[in-house]
Amino acid sequence: MDEYVIVSDATLDLSVNVIKEYDIRVIPMGVSIDDIQFLHHPDEREISVEDFYGKLKNGAVSHTTQITPAVFIDFFSEILDKGQDILYIAFSSGLSGTYNTSQIVIRDLIDEYPDRKIYVIDSLCASVGEGLLVYNAAVRKKDGMNMDDLREWVEQNKRKVCHWFTVKDLFYLKRGGRLSSIEAIIGTALKIRPVLSTDDEGKLIVNSKIRGSRAELDLMMTKLTEEGCDIASQTVIIGHADNLTQAKELEKLIRDRNLVKDILIERVGPIIGTHTGPGMLALTFIGEQSR
């Protein structure tokens, strides 16, 4: 039995195959669609990603909920009862209260399980950026890195994860307070797309605005080549919200130039998709320095 396990939450947007291969434990998160409640699991047992975006395109309204203390207690206790330690890499505190809730729970669990280690790390990342951080941690665990050393590696590298993404429908960002109504109306009419990233506090920021699908791809290629650290040895992640065609176009551009070691194309699930809407395109990689 492994001495410790890596835990994250359903915002990491990694495929179930990757999660199983590296034995990543994922806490499901709640989403309501037209007031019907679902839990989003990596295996999509309650609602598929396709069904989710289909509902949004048909006018459904979705909302997300944080992980409750009770869910944390049940999830962590099952692992601790097996004699395993926990390294929990959490959704950015700049975007959710999930990390803060977990800290409260973990303080109580440490008292209940004094012989076990429970580390919680604020990833300062989201979606496939969080997924990239967790994936790199899981690779190192599989290669034999112990939990204390891995904890240190994650803390040292979490701000080096570069997130670059664009959205198609600005009204999802408007609803979340990232754009004003006027900006959303004008931007949609002119097909202007905001370029978003995250800052050192893990908060979402609008970096710039562009027009057209080709400009999105060009921008992401530029960011990868200018900001990436030793990208020839990296596995990078392309994320998309019901936008596989454009994700594959970006993959081809990167592969044609033989820029990276490998590429994972991952679907953005309902938790993040609620706030970005269909059409989001993202590229994440490890950068040269802190954001």
Tokens 């998309």 appear where? 240
Rounded CA-CA distance 280/282 in Å is 7
Question: Structural domains in the chain?
Answer: 4-158 (3.40.50.10170), 160-286 (3.30.1180.10)
pLDDT of residue 233: 97
Higher-confidence residue: 288 or 97? 97
pLDDT of residue 210: 84
Higher-confidence residue: 213 or 79? 79
pLDDT of residue 62: 94
pLDDT of residue 154: 98
The residue-averaged pLDDT of 220-243 equals 97
In this predicted structure, the answer to whether residue 282 has a pLDDT above a threshold of 90 is yes
Higher-confidence residue: 291 or 119? 119
Packed helices 147-157 and 127-142: angle between N→C axes, nearest 10 degrees: 150
pLDDT, tens digit, for every residue of 121-136? 999 999 999 999 999 9
DSSP string, the chain: --SEEEEEEGGG---HHHHHHTTEEEE-EEEEETTEEEEE-TT-SSS-HHHHHHHHHTT--EEEEPPPHHHHHHHHHHHHTTT-EEEEEEPPTTT-SHHHHHHHHHHHHHHH-TTS-EEEEE----HHHHHHHHHHHHHHHHTT--HHHHHHHHHHHGGGEEEEEE-S-HHHHHHTTSS-HHHHHHHHHHTEEEEEEE-TTS-EEEEEEEESHHHHHHHHHHHHHHHBSSGGG-EEEEEESS-HHHHHHHHHHHHHTT-SSEEEEEE--HHHHHHH-TT-EEEEEEBSS--
b (16+ CB within 10 A) / e for 183-217 = bbeebeeeeebbbbbbeeebebeebeebeebeebb
pLDDT, tens digit, for every residue of 1-25? 469 999 999 999 999 999 999 999 9
pLDDT of residue 254: 98
pLDDT of residue 180: 52
The residue-averaged pLDDT of 83-102 equals 96
- As given in the structure block, the two tokens for residue 118 are 């429970």
pLDDT, tens digit, for every residue of 171-212? 766 565 555 544 544 455 556 778 889 989 998 888 888 887
| Listed residue (242, 239, 238) closest to 278, CA to CA | 242
pLDDT, tens digit, for every residue of 29-72? 999 999 999 999 999 999 999 999 999 999 999 999 999 999 99
pLDDT of residue 117: 96
The residue-averaged pLDDT of 151-177 equals 85
Higher-confidence residue: 74 or 199? 74
In this predicted structure, the answer to whether residue 91 has a pLDDT above a threshold of 90 is yes
pLDDT of residue 288: 85
Rounded CA-CA distance 124/42 in Å is 21
Share of the chain above pLDDT 90, in %: 81
pLDDT of residue 185: 46
Higher-confidence residue: 168 or 234? 234
pLDDT of residue 67: 96
> How many beta carbons lie within 10 A of that of residue 98, not counting itself?
21
The residue-averaged pLDDT of 144-162 equals 97
